[in-house]
Structure 1
Amino acid sequence: MTTTRDPAAARFFILQIVRLGGAVAVLLGVLVQAGRAPAWLSALPTWTGYILALAGMIAFFALPRLLARRWKSPTP
């Protein structure tokens, strides 16, 4: 019996990783804006926090939809 990997499962995990990365980016962006960022991000100016949060929102909301649309099976 051969075991084949389901591409849908791999795509599902990729979508979840993209969403998680977007959520982390939003969190870090808000921390930079508030001035409570970790030490390795504390030197960034406030406006970069806004950009990071915006990029995180795009990655969280739009990127999974775009990937799902691209991976959608063609209709017969």
Structure 2
Amino acid sequence: MNEADRVARNRYFLMMGANCAGVAGAVLALLILGRAKTTELTMLGIALMLASFWVMAAIPRMLARRWRTPPEA
């Protein structure tokens, strides 16, 4: 495996790790929402859910755009 393949693999793992972190946050938010007895806990669960959705949607796309190969001149 050459260096370019290794870098591409590591970048892919980083993007998938961001997705896994988002999924873990969403699961935690569901647990909080399911056991919430107060309004504050409900608001915390909703905020964590929205943040998790943003992480799953935006972070991998931002990383891919940052690492995009520049067009040949």
TM over 0.5: yes
**Match among 54, 63, 66 for residue 67 of structure 1:** 63
**Deviation at residue 34 of structure 1 after TM alignment:** 1.2
Partners in 2 of 1:12 and 1:60 — Cα distance?
14
Query: Structure 1 runs of 4+ off > 3 angstroms?
Result: none
The size of the alignment, in residue pairs, is: 67
Specify the alignment match of 1:24 in structure 2: 24
Residue 58 (structure 1) shift: 0.7
After superposition, the C-alpha distances for 1:14-42 in whole angstroms (9 at most, x for unaligned) are 00100000001011111111117xxxxxx
Aligned alpha-carbon RMSD (Å): 1.7
Structure with more of its chain in helix, by fraction: 2
Structure 2 unmatched ranges of 5 or more: none
Which TM-score applies when normalising by structure 2?
A: 0.82
What 5-or-longer segments of structure 1 have no aligned partner?
Answer: 37-43
Seq. identity, %: 30
